[in-house]
Amino acid sequence: MSRIRRSRGEQIFNVFNIAFMILLMLACLYPFWYVIMASFSRPTLILGHRGGLLFPLGFSLQAYEAVFANRSIWIGYYNTIIYVVGGTCINIVMTIMGAYYLSRRFAPCKKFVMLLILFTMYFSGGMIPTFLNIRNLGLLDTRWAILLPGAISTFNLIIMRTAFASIDASMEESAMLDGAGHWTIMFRIMLPLAKATVAVLVLYYGVGHWNSWFSAMLYLSNEALKPLQLVLREILIVNSANATQGGGGDADSELLSETIQYATILVATVPILCLYPFLQKYFVKGMMVGALKG
Amino acid sequence: MIILPVLIYYIVFEYLPMYGVVIAFQNFSPRRGIWGSPWVGLQHFESFLSGIYIGRLIRNTLRISLSTLAFGFPAPIILALLMNELRGKAFPRLVQTITYMPHFISMVVLCAMIRDFVQEGGVITEFFTLFGYDGRGMLGKQDLFTPIYVISGIWQGVGWGSIVYLASLTSIDMELYEAARIDGAGRWKQTLHITLPSILPTIIIMFIMRMGNVMSVGHEKVMLLYNEGIYEKADVISTYVYRYGIEQQQYSFSAAVGLFNSVINFVLVIFANALSRKVSETSLW
């Protein structure tokens, strides 16, 4: 049925549909284009400029020089890498342990544990009790305040459990007969078979840590511990809000600050956007796993 | 015991804060702790419910979240249906790749971009000036906050959100379409009578998951976008909790407001689930 005779109405629809998709793609791309062009522009020109840009106004690398010279951005990058790598490792180990237990058919108190875990998806203590809890535990202003809370996402735990539960039970029974313990079964049998799901969860957790700034704002006041996104918030949101409210600052830095913002956005976003084409298929797979099974 | 660390995590980081909610019924002072602080019953709830901000907080929370639901929820479904109608292989792939991209920028960067584009002289402001807009910064106008919030959310999420629906579209049996074609159904009829009913379960599940969040507008995005001048239309319950709880350290009062909010959320999820079980026999549990 590859050659279907199309009615006139369908042809018109096709044209509009393609036109719409092209517009949509432009709408998705242009903001990035604008930021790139603006970041390479001459600060003096961009300040008075209104509206869109197709090409840089003049050409200058001043903004990038300023960004690369800004130590707090690199400290932020360093911290973010610690949080992404460390946090994701904790996440994955914890999630796998929980999921392994919940996927066993004869685990003790399984129903109760499941209920305990599921309930947290629908109800939580809220921001203030959570904050006080972290403070009582003495975690304020330590890296653990970022790494430990949220060590398990219940949603991801359920996805992992579903993946484990779909593995043929006879595999582990025969392993058990051969004398394998739970750890051996988990690492030697379950994990290799659920590799794809683990990969997806690594990405989910990793991106979550990369994007996170709010808990860092709540729990960290030490500059040396702040993750990149929180540093970005200070540079991009707080400073610019102060600037528009007529805050001080000499003319030169004010001039630069506009283009610095664009350069900062790019320095903080380009690494992720470069990784993205390689990761896309895993993410898509993950979305489907989550939607169809979760 | 493999489960032990997991249990400890849930108890320490999920259930301890839940227990900590009791401070909503106390005049909590950090020095005395939960055990030593005096009980005050429902005083904080009463003062919130009879306060001057509750009206605008609930209005704003509902306006922002219902607009997000009304426009943001159907958008990826429509996009998926339209993408499904595209012929060929390369073009749909290109559309997908590019529309997923905004999903990968972080909330902070997204909001920084929004703030830049809608400020006076920004790209978006200037664009609307062509159509008679007065050219002032858009985030300074309280009535524009919800549209900015919702539209930027669609921009960031529409492509990504369509993946789920595209996935469930691929599982539709092609024979159904052939049968419909033989019966003389055009593409519109096919969409209406085959495609939509086939992805309805997915739509319902996604909808239930969203329903529970109706009363919880993400505080992160609001906090990054709003300013004191537009609190009237932009301040939501969670940002209010943040300002009173963390900035002003009125722990008990803000915990009470937070609890009020979570209870409503909880009821909404239960309600949504019961509703969908009745209507369609699809439910989360």
Give ranges for CATH 1.10.3720.10 in chain A: 71-223
Domain that holds residue B167: 53-280
Does residue A59 belong to the interface with chain B, where contact is any CB pair within 8 Å?
no
Q: How many residues are recorded in chain B?
A: 285
CATH of residue B146's domain is 1.10.3720.10
First-to-last alpha carbon distance for chain A, in angstroms, is 36
> Is B284's pLDDT higher than 70?
no
Whether A251 contacts chain B with CB within 8 A: no
pLDDT at A253: 59
Residue B193: in which H helix or E strand, if any?
A: none
State the sign of the Cα–Cα–Cα–Cα dihedral A214, A215, A216, A218: positive
pTM of the model: 0.87
Write out pLDDT tens, residues B192-217: 888 888 888 888 878 877 776 677 67
Residue B146 has pLDDT above 80, yes or no: yes
The CATH code that applies to domain A71-223 is 1.10.3720.10
- Give the three-class secondary structure for B204: helix
| Residue A247 reports pLDDT greater than 50 | no
Residue B256 lies in a domain: yes
Residue B193 lies in a domain: yes
In a domain, B93, yes or no: yes
On the question of pLDDT at A256 being above 60, the answer is yes
Q: What is the mean pLDDT of residues B36-50?
A: 88
Which of A86, A129, A90 lies closest to A225 in space, CA to CA?
A86
Answer whether residue A123 shows pLDDT above 90: no
Would you say residue B2 lies in a domain? no
pLDDT score, position B281: 63
CA dist B222 and B215 (Å) reads 14
Number of domains in chain B: 1
C-alpha B32/C-alpha B41 separation (Å) is 18
Task: Give the pLDDT of residue B194.
Answer: 85
In angstroms and rounded to an integer, the radius of gyration of the C-alpha atoms of chain A is: 25
Q: Work out the minimum CA distance from B153 to partner chain A, whole angstroms.
A: 12
Inter-chain residue contact B13 with A210, CB threshold 8 Å: no
Give me the pLDDT at residue B210, please.
76
Position B86 scores a pLDDT of: 87
A90 contact B CB<8A: no
Q: What percent of chain B has pLDDT over 70?
A: 96
Sign of CA pseudo-dihedral A244, A246, A248, A254: positive
The whole-number pLDDT of residue B283 equals 57
Predicted pLDDT at A155: 85
| Helix H or strand E encompassing B238 | helix B237-242
The model's pLDDT over B63-92, given as tens digits with 9 standing for 90+, comes to 998 899 899 999 999 999 999 888 888 899
In a domain, B25, yes or no: no
* Residue located via tokens 């969670």: B238
- pLDDT tens profile B99-143: 988 988 899 999 999 998 998 888 898 888 888 888 888 888 889
Quick check: B123 and A34 CB within 8 A? yes
> Which DSSP string corresponds to A72-88?
HHHHHHHHHHHHHHHHH
Task: Decide if B29 is inside a domain.
Answer: no
Q: Residue B227: list chain A partners with CB under 8 A.
A: 241
Q: Report if residue B103 sits inside a domain.
A: yes
| pLDDT 10s digits, A139-183 | 999 999 999 998 999 888 988 888 888 887 777 778 878 887 778
Whether pLDDT at A246 is above 70: no
Query: How far apart are alpha carbons A145 and A139 in whole angstroms?
Result: 5
Chain B partners within 8 Å of A103 (Cβ):
none
